[in-house]
Structure 1
Amino acid sequence: MDGSWPHEHSSLRPNPDAVFGRLENGFRYVLLRHGAPKGRAALYLDMQVGSLMETDAQAGIAHYMEHMVFNGSRHFPPGELIKYFQSVGMRFGSDANAHTSTQETVYKLQVPTSDADVLHQGLVVLSDFLGGASISEQEVSNERGVILEEKIARDTERFRASLRRLNFLLPGTRFVNPTIGVESVIKGANAKLLRGFYDSWYRPELAVLVVVGDFDVQALEAEVKAVFSSAKARGVRPEVPAWGDASLKGVHFYYDRRPDASGMVSVEALHPRKYEHDSLAVQRTLIKGQLAVRMLQARLMTLVDREGSPCIKAMSRIGRTFSLFDNARIIAIPREGQWKQAVHLVENELRRALDHGFTSVELQRAKKFYGNYFKQSLKKETARDSADIAQEIVACLNQDRVYQSPSQTYELFLPMLSELTLNEVNATFRDAWDSGNRMVGLSGVELDAKVEPEAELSAVWTAASKDPVVAWKAEDEVSFPYLKVPSYSGQSVERFEEISLTKPYCYQRTEFSNGFSLFMKNTSVEKDKVFLNLSFGRGTALMSDKEQALARFVLKVLRNSGVGRLTSLQQSQVLAGRSIDFSWKAQSMGLGLYVSCLRSDLDMAFHLLRTALLNPVVRQNQYDAALTQVKNDNSQQANTSSGVLSMKGKRFLAEGAGHFADLDYAEVETFSLKDVRNYISSAFRQGPLFLCAVGDFEPDVMENLAGRFFGTLPEWKAADGDPVKLHFPVGQSETAHIKHESSQAGVLLAVPVPYIDSGENVSGGHAVYVEQVKLRLLRRVLADRLRVNLRERLGVSYSPRAILKNSVLYKGYGYLGVQVETEVGNTEVVEKEIRKIMKDLTDSGVTAEELNRVVRQSLALQKKVVNRLGYWNSLLYTTARVHPDGFERAASAARIIESVSAQDMTVLARKYLMLDNAALFTVLPSDL
């Protein structure tokens, strides 16, 4: 990194709305005014230094330093920074966070901009990160345990497999060193070692401030200059250690057994390290590569969707590993026992594309996709979150790419797309794979112990290379929509508009004669964007344990293909010119179809919803893919403490019921394809049918669309059933084990907090809702004490968290709990500390100071979420299907939060934090 801007050595011009500045000390900044979310800004400090700048004696210190800047600085003594964040409504982890990678360490703050002092203090905090860290010996010692716990939490089988792959691809290079570092360095780290790295690398010329949000740019620029002009280098900038380069030549075969993971076949080409400035030529090469990827991916999807395919999934990519190594890769997930056939498919399709190239029909489809992608990006820009844009700017700067606006990108790439020729794209694809090497991989497949795995893989690949391949024959375009929709609207029988509450807590409801209900909340908080949630039938709260597992699995099966009789490829082709995301969800009070789209795509979104509801099609491949996904998920979870806590711990807290736990493969594999189809045929025509529409639309337009597409359906039989009874394991304990070798452990301790809806009205809202709001505050208090005691004081957990789970849908059931991932040997200490924290809350109560901090956080979150469609979508669904007075409750939340006293919280703690009722779930390694 030489301290220059990417656009200073490129013919490409940067976003004209962004202010790019450089101070005399070399410090740079980018300021961009953006209105979403309103009243907030993302402040990112991009330190262009990461683990690749470390010597062997410093392995892990770049990441260690990321932690240390939060633990005492020029303006914030140890322990005070996070309290300050909380006092202004920020949450550590979501509004204040950081990450370290190979070439960057990025600090991220999301602050309210309505208070000029808070915005100023945000700059001061980042200035302290750059040059004012205290790095006391005591704080280094205190943080060591947290970092070791984070290292243990990262040490999963998937992580170890990725390291094995890197060591195969880039042997002898520094790229194989994990950012977290090595244990000996972490354990031996002291203030001198950290200070040496900090003073050498945290320099103004390696720092870039990126601020995106709702603020006055001119005023903020003056603040930036005042705060950062005094920053200076404090030490000599060292030479960067030699990184090494890709060195493999020829064809190499790699086998990784990975027990319990599903099989995977891969082939890739890795080019030597390359660094190039951004230019029109570079961008032209990138778009040609992505067009080729799109075409090859379409072929792979076509083959996967065919009956009898040996693969249940296949993917292709052309990109850059570590932003330096051009890399082309194909991955395929084979069916059980068909890895050899999958190898043939991968080898043949790669060779077919290299030998015969792509077709003009395929190229036109790919061009259409990307042309519309750039158009949609332009439309969606105003609704993007400031933090996402700040992240994009940082990525551009650190990859030496010119940050341009969506309109610039549109104007650059649209003409480029139209003039690109098939020969050019084919040549770029061949160049991507012409690296002088091939790495053919196989993992997750048990082979005969008598056979040398790499030799067997080599033999299969060699045999596949002798298969004759001919040019690809493109498949015909599919037509959609294919279901007829009436030209008239269904009859409305009732209209209701909630206007009695304070803005913005208003909504509309329309009832149709066939029993269909439409709930609408029109708002422009995210310009031109709309969320649709279609809910029908019985929800999981009305199902037995086995029924809810089947329902959730059915929706997972449906998510593995296109809508209705469309394949996933056909759906992507149909939606190529649109911005529509579609998914299925199993909800507590109904099965759900969820769509987010732009307002201009509403008509197509309704066609998708109606087709998915009335004509769901399930194929063998979809079923197999879903089954494999569950198996993979279970395998990964069984190897980590967090996974076992999620899978088995949640079941324990419901005395074996899996309503809140992840799907269990042992149960799911008992469901046949016939079971899935039978469930769909019986459950998908059950009412009541609700549509919740939230976003930037005209209510009369939405009502007309909903009336035509759903108000004209025949009335469905109402789903019946009583809410399931879940039971909390009062006073019980259980221990589970991680399946394979690990030093991870975990503790889940909870007390019952049943949700009992009395319906009694009191000043400020329903009594039960008032208590629910207080319980959320109590959870935050508990979470903060966990952070202080388990993370900062004892250093026995990287991310302890408090959990509140209760709902009116599960009468008499709920819990307030603590989940902690830790190291083996710490479980007794962790359990004892959790019990002590809970006892202290009941004995000594909640302090006014800590309550004030969580109140400020909660009020700030309330202000933030009302500017996001996701909040209104959730609230509208709750109002439609759970609490008819949901908007009234939500409108009173801030008032309730402001009225809560420390004494109220203490009373609540004494009511529920009864340790005699606590249930304990412990996770230990397999050998204990």
Structure 2
Amino acid sequence: MNPRYPFALGLALLLSWLLLGGCTTDDAPSSPAPKNKSATAVGPAPAKRPTNRMPQLELPQDPALRTGKLRNGLRYAVYPNKQPEGRASLRLIVRAGSLHETDEQRGLAHFLEHMAFAGSTHYPPGKLVEFFRRMGMRVGADTNALTGFDRTMYMLELPNTDAETLAEAFQVFGDYAGGLLLLDEEIERERAVVLSEKRERDSSLYRAKAADLEFILGGSLVPKRLPIGEESVIRSAGREQLLDFWNTWYRPERMMIVAVGDFDAKKVESQIRKTFAPLKARAPARPEPDLGELPNPDVTRAYYYYDAEAPATSVRITNILPYNLDLHAEVKGLLSEDSAPNRMMDLVIDVAFEMFNRRLAVLAQKEGAPFLAAQVSRKDEFNFYRQATIEISTQGEQWREALAVADQELRRVRDHGFLPEEFAEVLAEFKTAIEAMGRGAANRQSGRIANQIAQALHDGKVITHPHFDYGLLKPSLDQIPLELCQRFLQMLFGRPPGLGEGFFVSVMGNALIEEEGKSPTEVILEVGRAASQVPVEPLGEREAVEWAYTDWGEPGTVVSDERVADLDLRLVRFANGVRLNFKKTDFEPGLVRVWLRVGEGRIALPVELPGLNTLADLTFNSAGLGKHSVEELNRLFAGVSGGALFRVRDDAFILQGQSFPKDLRMYFQSLTAQLVDPGWRPEALRQAHRVAQNMYLHFQHTPEGPLTAEVTRILSGGDPRFALPEESVLLSRTMEELRDWLGPQLAHGPLEVSVIGDFDPEALLAIVAETLGALPARAQKRDFTAELAKITFPEKPFNETYRIQTQIDKGEVRVYWPTRGAGDHRHSHLLFALASIFEERLRAQVREKMGASYSPSVQSNRGEATPNFGYIEAGCTVDPRQARQVQDLIVQIGDELARNGVKKEELNRIRKVKLNDARQLQRNNMYWLTTVLAQAQENPETLNPVRTLRSDIESISVEELSELARTYLGAARASRVLVLPEGKE
């Protein structure tokens, strides 16, 4: 059961526009933000030019935000925030991206972003990474950058906020802005890295998206400026070209600094001014790029893109509108005139789109539905165009039916609107999301706030406090006219009824369209026109539904209640054997997280029925309950927070979810129902088959295929319970087989439920007593140690090469070394530290020196409960022609660690990173829930790691790690895997 689909989508939509506001741009340094200084609306913009227009409507800026603009034009925003404690998130935004390139510069905005890390005034080549490591920062996680169409953003996550660290971090940004060296030898080295990133991004999906962008915006600059760039430019560009782009566009008036964290805001503001005031432009300014022309909205167009490697087909109906279309004028008299009409307009549109998406989700569940998933979406880009799209994912042979559904459901909504009950349900969802936003305001994480402010600064909008948003938006929900939702959809998807009058219709993927005497696009248009002639009726009224799981009988009796004082948690056991572990925290105000472990998991899978575990993962969340379908659950849970994701693990089945305190009773009623009365519905099996078929199609042409289907089988010693079966085997599994296997374990198996967050402990205890505690007696022990011990890594190293049929020119390299499995937590700390050191060396050799891969990685994997099964895995995406060379190098690096051990400075760097992480884990609900509470009664030893977390890390020695490397990483123990395109090596 997954009743929270609407909630998840609604919350995402809300946050996308509520919090991605903007900021004032005062000409003088700021004190705390003046009231009503700036506003949200950006007036009509020239269609050919993206602008960063000043807000014009009055909204109150968050009073904690300090903003200003230096005389050189650079803007900044400083926001004090204590989550997480002792840390800070910094951003440097440059309003220049791939759209600002010339034809000869395609890819240089992104190339230049790479070069910012390759030598500058204060950090010669190699020294910047040394600074990051000295601070205990992870390269790639705590320091990163991104390049988009209209911006480049550099990011730093600082592990502490002392004056020296902040000063040096701003100095790093200062060098990005005005001190790059752009040395020829570094350009040559980084060129290979950029090409490796381009190769790694290449995929069937990426190519389809690029083709679709060309189709709908081919007359504009946008599809001709994909940020990754052109290979020919990347291969040939030299210092002068990079210098020209940097000098032209990295200008102070195009830059913004964002600082959010646990610091003194005044001092940080002063440091920003000191660092960036001397910054000057190095070249004359150039005009903004001409984005070209939008397509003629009166002309119908169809597009066909065939890719035999695609796992599915995407059918899309898209409408493009000019950005400067005045939507407010179109609904004059229906939208109340208050201080924030743009936000109100977005709210109405998001409500309309959510209602539409709920309809499509219901249709996907119907028997005979010709598609797997569908959604409507919208976006406004570059102050240039507005886009509204309905997209349906289907199997290739069903593209005609899918197109008919897209057309007819779009017309049904445009012509007949929504039902009042649909409207009420979605409004309830949005109210719940807004309330959650208000409650969580005090616990917002600095990194997220920094990204929101960065977006706002770029877009010229106001950052308001979540409490203001709550006060503005919640009462506004009750004032939205239902007809206004329909009106906005009509505008965004075009007024003319039916296909063929201004839409872009595309069929992209593995649908083979061949009809004698006709082009594929002619066939698409014919199918669309025929679909548009079918009359559509309003959606029929729905029967009322009442929640059926309110009474579970006599509440259970508590027979044990232990308080663990040093960890401030309670361990409770009911008479029926249900174990309850809980801890009250203030880490996430207004949120409660739940982790339920039941039964024996994957290890209990009958060997003669391979694939049942995969079928369980694919069906359980979409099968509803015995007395309620998923559609009914969506309606019943409208405005109620909750839901649980089901997963099969090695030694248990997991239901993981979250709720709000006010909804805990109904939430636990639903959890209980999932255990004793799952739906086992045929529609879930139908959907699972379609997902599986797409998955196996994807596997035929991508490295994930052999790595998932073949290598996992080898790694687990050939045990079918730990490997993905062949497609025909999986598709032969039935819902009856799944019910017979999984049902008894859910209903009678050992059960331990853990709860953490913001709740009343006694109220929680009473709720669990009347739900899970009221069930019949359950099994207490899970005795499968001997079975788990059978799962072992192969005795002898293996060497496998797999070939896949693909036009994507990239290969995958993997090397595996067997280690120990679950058990000693200190041993796990040592393995993770060794893997981190290995990854540093791998990155230095394969990425920085060879340029052979963009993101090589090393990780320690251990079975969740298998004592003899674990391994270290190293790998990367490479040019197929370099695959064996890189694989040999990986083995060599591991063998070097085995022979000569680790170095003290390597350990010191890793220790700093892990101590920084440990500090944050102490206030992380998910860490407490999954690592500490989850098995606190079944396995009390799991309480110890949190007690010794810091000391375990601090006590790691060079000798221990070197011994571990000698034990595990020798070349003779390495198993090798290559996945290469057919015919390329």
- Residue aligning to 1:460: 527
256-265 or 88-97, larger mean C-alpha shift: 256-265
Tell me what 2:333 maps to.
none
Shift of 1:419: 2.8
User: What is residue 169 of structure 2 aligned with on the other side?
Assistant: 122
Match of 2:374 among 303, 308, 314: 314
- 1:621-645 Cα offsets, whole Å, 9 max, x none, are 3222223223334444543446654
Of 903, 915, 918, the residue aligned with 1:859 is: 915
Contact persistence 2:832–2:859 (CA under 8 A): no
How many residues matched?
913
Offset at residue 799 of structure 1 (A): 0.4
Partner of residue 631 from structure 1, selected from 680, 683, 693 = 693
Q: Tell me, yes or no, if structure 1 residue 485 matches structure 2 residue 535.
A: no
How far does the alpha carbon of each residue in 1:380-423 deviate from its partner, in whole angstroms, 9 at most, with x for none? 22233221222222223333332222222223333433333233
CA distance in 1, matches of 2:825, 2:858: 20
Matched residues in 1 for 2:133 and 2:484: separation?
A: 55
Q: Is the 8 A contact 2:789 2:868 kept in 1?
A: no
What is the CA–CA distance in structure 1 between the aligned matches of 2:864 and 2:882, rounded to whole Å? 36
Query: Are residues 1:587 and 2:636 paired?
Result: no
Amino acid at match of 1:868: N
Aligned mates of 2:396, 2:418 — CA distance in 1: 31
What are the equivalent positions in structure 2 for 1:100-499 lying under 5 Å apart? 100-176=147-223, 177-248=225-296, 249-259=298-308, 260-274=310-324, 280-321=340-381, 324-334=384-394, 337-434=397-494, 437-447=502-512, 449-451=514-516, 452-480=519-547, 482-486=549-553, 489-499=555-565
Larger CA deviation: 852-861 vs 292-301:
292-301
Question: SS state of the match for residue 954, structure 2?
Answer: helix
| Matched ranges for 1:697-708 at <5 A | 697-708=759-770
Closer, same or farther in 2 for the Cα pair 1:74/1:155, shift >3 Å?
Answer: same
1:826 aligned onto 2:882: yes
Contact kept? 2:93, 2:152, Cα under 8 Å: yes
Q: Which moved more, 1:208-217 or 1:446-455?
A: 446-455
Q: Bigger shift: 858-867 or 415-424?
A: 415-424
Aligned partner of residue 788 in structure 2, secondary structure? coil
Question: What amino acid maps onto 1:824 in structure 2?
Answer: P
Alignment-derived partner of residue 665 in structure 2: 603
Distance 1:467 1:289 in 2: 27
Given that 1:290 and 1:318 are in contact with CA atoms closer than 8 Å, whether structure 2 keeps it comes out as: no
- Show the 5 A alignment for 1:600-749: 600-641=662-703, 644-657=706-719, 665-717=727-779, 721=784, 722-723=787-788, 725-729=790-794, 730-749=796-815
Note if contact 1:37-1:868 (Cα within 8 Å) is conserved in structure 2: no
Counterpart pick for 2:102 among 41, 49, 55? 55
Give the SS at the match of 1:880.
coil
- Relative to structure 1, the CA distance from residue 243 to residue 461 in structure 2 (aligned partners, 3 Å threshold; closer, same or farther) is same
The Cα shift of 1:458 comes to 2.2
Given the alignment of the two structures, is residue 755 of structure 1 paired with residue 821 of structure 2, yes or no? Answer: yes
* TM-score, normalised with respect to structure 2: 0.88
CA distance in 1: counterparts of 2:326 and 2:101, whole angstroms: 23
Displacement of 1:368: 3.1
Farther off after superposition, 606-615 or 155-164:
606-615
Q: Is the 8 A contact 1:3 1:26 kept in 2?
A: no
1:508 to 2:570 alignment? yes
Residue aligning to 1:760: none
Query: Following the alignment from structure 1 to structure 2, what is the Cα–Cα distance between the partners of residues 37 and 125?
Result: 22
Structure 1 portions without partners, runs of 5+: 758-767
Give the one of 775, 784, 790 matched to 2:846: 790
Contact 1:383–1:529 (8 Å) recurs in 2: no
Q: Which residue of 2 aligns with 1:88?
A: 135
Which residue matches 1:765? Answer: none
Q: Partners of 2:782 and 2:880 in 1: how far apart?
A: 48
Query: Is contact 2:610-2:729 (8 Å) kept?
Result: no
User: 1:70/1:800 Cα in 2 relative to 1: closer, same or farther (>3 Å)?
Assistant: same
CA gap 1:79/1:637 in 2 versus in 1, 3 angstroms: farther
- State the shift of 1:852 in Å: 0.6
Cross-structure match for 1:761:
none
CA distance in 1, matches of 2:171, 2:631: 50
Question: More deviation in 789-798 or 315-324?
Answer: 315-324
SS at match of 2:188: helix
CA shift, 1:154, in A, is 0.7
Give the aligned residue type for 1:87.
R
Instruction: Tell me the alpha carbon deviations over residues 301-359 of structure 1, each in whole angstroms, 9 at most, x when there is no partner.
Output: 33333334333322222332566421121122346854433332222221122222334
Q: Say if 1:790 and 1:800, in contact at 8 Å, map to a contact too.
A: yes
Deviations 1:651-710 (A, max 9, x none): 333344476667764542222333334334333223101101122233333222222211
SS at match of 2:562: strand
State the distance in 1 between where 2:171 and 2:719 align: 50
8 Å contact 2:932–2:946 — kept in the other structure? no
Q: After the TM superposition, which of the residue ranges 233-242 and 448-457 deviates more from structure 2?
A: 448-457
> CA distance change for structure 1 residues 476 and 24 in 2, over 3 Å: closer, same or farther?
farther
Alignment-derived partner of residue 871 in structure 2: 815
Question: Hey, what's the Cα distance between the residues in 1 that align with 2:365 and 2:634?
Answer: 13
Distance 1:582 1:517 in 2: 18
Deviation at residue 450 of structure 1 after TM alignment: 3.9
Q: CA 1:186–1:335 in 2, change beyond 3 Å: closer, same or farther?
A: closer
Q: Report the Cα offset of residue 509 of structure 1.
A: 1.0
Rounded to whole Å, the distance in 1 between the matches of 2:343 and 2:164 is 41
Q: Secondary structure at the match of 2:622?
A: coil
SS at match of 1:89: coil
In structure 2, the residue corresponding to 1:741 is in which secondary structure?
A: coil
Asked if the contact 1:270–1:328 (Cα under 8 Å) also holds between the matched residues in 2, the reply is: yes
Alpha-carbon distance in structure 2 between the residues aligned to 1:919 and 1:384: 44
- Which shifted more, 742-751 or 871-880? 871-880
State the partner residue of 1:571. Answer: 633
Q: Deviations over 1:28-82 (max 9, x none)?
A: 1112222222222211111111110111111111111111111222222211222
Query: Aligned residue for 1:75?
Result: 122
Q: State the match for 1:891 in structure 2.
A: 947
In the other structure, the counterpart of 2:47 is none
Give secondary structure in 1 for the equivalent of 2:732.
coil
Residue matched to 1:835: 891
Residue equivalent to 2:77? 30
The CA deviation at 1:547 is 5.7
Alpha-carbon distance between aligned partners in 2 of 1:878 and 1:291, rounded to the nearest angstrom: 37
Question: In the alignment, which of 895, 900, 906 is matched to residue 850 of structure 1?
Answer: 906
Q: 1:553 to 1:756 in 2, by over 3 A?
A: closer
**RMSD between aligned alpha carbons?**
2.7
**Structure 2 partner of 1:534:** 596
**2:90 alignment partner in structure 1:** 43
Aligned AA (2:456): C
- Cα distance in 1 for partners of 2:302, 2:607 equals 45
Distance 2:705 2:294 in 1: 35
Q: Distance in 2 between matches of 1:886 and 1:2?
A: 46
* Secondary structure of the structure 2 residue equivalent to 1:9: coil
State the identity %. Answer: 27
Residue 565 of structure 1, CA deviation: 4.3
Q: 1:683 to 1:69 in 2, by over 3 A?
A: same
Q: TM-score under structure 1 normalisation?
A: 0.93
Contact between 1:556 and 1:584, CA under 8 Å: does it hold in 2?
A: no
Unpaired segments ≥5 residues, structure 2: 1-21, 27-37, 40-53, 329-338, 496-500
Deviation track 1:758-805 (CA, whole Å, cap 9, x = no partner) reads xxxxxxxxxx43332222111110010011111101110100000211
Work out whether residues 399 and 511 of structure 2, in 8 Å CA contact, stay in contact via their aligned partners in 1: no
Deviation at 1:858, TM superposition (A): 0.8
Deviates more, 1:101-110 or 1:693-702: 693-702
CA gap 1:561/1:70 in 2 versus in 1, 3 angstroms: farther
**How far apart are the structure 2 equivalents of 1:402 and 1:235?**
31
